[in-house]
A and B are shown apart, each in its own frame.
Chain A
């Protein structure tokens, strides 16, 4: 990495140009998990890409066009699809665990 140039125009790093990369913490976790698993060789990028394309296409082809667009919902669903398809972690397991987490007493819902 070269020494940082003193640049504060629109070419500055993501935080500095007024555009947040992630709009909620879970989006960054979903992003980070996919990249970590890909780098560890858990799946190829085209595999993940295909799952992401399928999720986005399903949303775009659905008749109800009034649902809000959330890119990272599709990203997360694609990650779950790939892991489910491989038999690594099933979507049911994720749903069951999420339900357990939802039933935690208040004050325990922070990620650590």
Chain B
């Protein structure tokens, strides 16, 4: 791996990060192995596959769906998904006439346990500003054209409410099992910038 000591702002951030880690370690406030473990977990384990399992279960189990819409955090915990940014998850359902799309206008609040860390575009100032002002246009640019009869609600996530979209179950998937439905559920569908589609 090459170092980036000659390029722009990166070295100062890299050096400050290293300096901070040294200071925190010297004072016994962190253990680098625990930091390593968190990083590995978010790089390899925690991702939208967790959310896909939640959605597939909600599509096939009406009682679970009811619990998920009533109390997202605890219904998600039933499947073993919890941890930082997993508190106060509120699930909203997309229907043929109502479409929810999620943003965090102030920073990057996102339900980590079910979606992993947010993608670059979700944190980008352009998406955060524009999806509030012109959601239909932004969604269309991202490949989702919604009819004029579909009402769009933009959900602004904060540390008090982290929104998760329960997408519509695609038509023609009635014969599929819960496990077979999981791969149809994408991260983008759970943020509300896409729909789940039959394979």
Could you list which residues of chain A lie within 8 angstroms of chain B, going by C-beta atoms?
1-2, 5, 7-15, 17, 19, 21-22, 24-26, 28-33, 35-40, 42, 45-46, 49, 52-53, 56-57, 60, 68-73, 76, 79-80, 83, 88-89, 93-95, 97-98, 100-102, 109-111
Contact = CB atoms under 8 A, between A and B. Distances in A.
16 contacts: A1-B45, A1-B80, A5-B53, A8-B183, A9-B186, A12-B47, A26-B17, A40-B29, A40-B30, A45-B159, A46-B159, A49-B109, A71-B108, A94-B19, A98-B19, A101-B19
Main secondary structure on chain A at its contact with chain B?
A: helix
Nearest to B22: A97
Nearest to A75: B108
A65 to B, nearest CB: 9
Given A5-B182, A28-B39, A53-B106, A79 B159 contact: no
A69 B29 CA distance: 30
Contacts of A73: 9, 13
B84 A56 contact: no
B126 to A, nearest CB: 9
Given A1-B80, A10-B188, A98 B159 contact: no
B179 interface: yes
Interface residues on B, range: 35 or more
B44 A7 contact: no
Given A10-B48, A14-B116, A93-B23, A71 B123 contact: yes
A76 B168 CA distance: 38
A9 B10 CA distance: 33
B9 to A, nearest CB: 7
B59 to A, nearest CB: 14
A33 B21 contact: yes
Nearest to B199: A9
A26 B159 contact: no
B16 to A, nearest CB: 5
B137 interface: no
Q: Of B10, B24, B27, which is in contact with the most chain A CB atoms at under 10 Å from its CB?
A: B24
A33 B23 contact: no
Closest 5 pairs (CB-CB, A-B): A97-B19, A13-B47, A32-B35, A11-B52, A26-B14
Interface in B58-110: 79-80, 84-85, 87, 106-109
A90 B183 CA distance: 47
Contact of B186 (A10, A21, A101): A10
A17 B16 contact: no
Given A11-B187, A33-B17, 14 more contacts: A9-B186, A14-B117, A19-B119, A21-B116, A31-B42, A32-B35, A32-B36, A40-B29, A42-B29, A56-B107, A56-B125, A70-B13, A71-B108, A76-B17
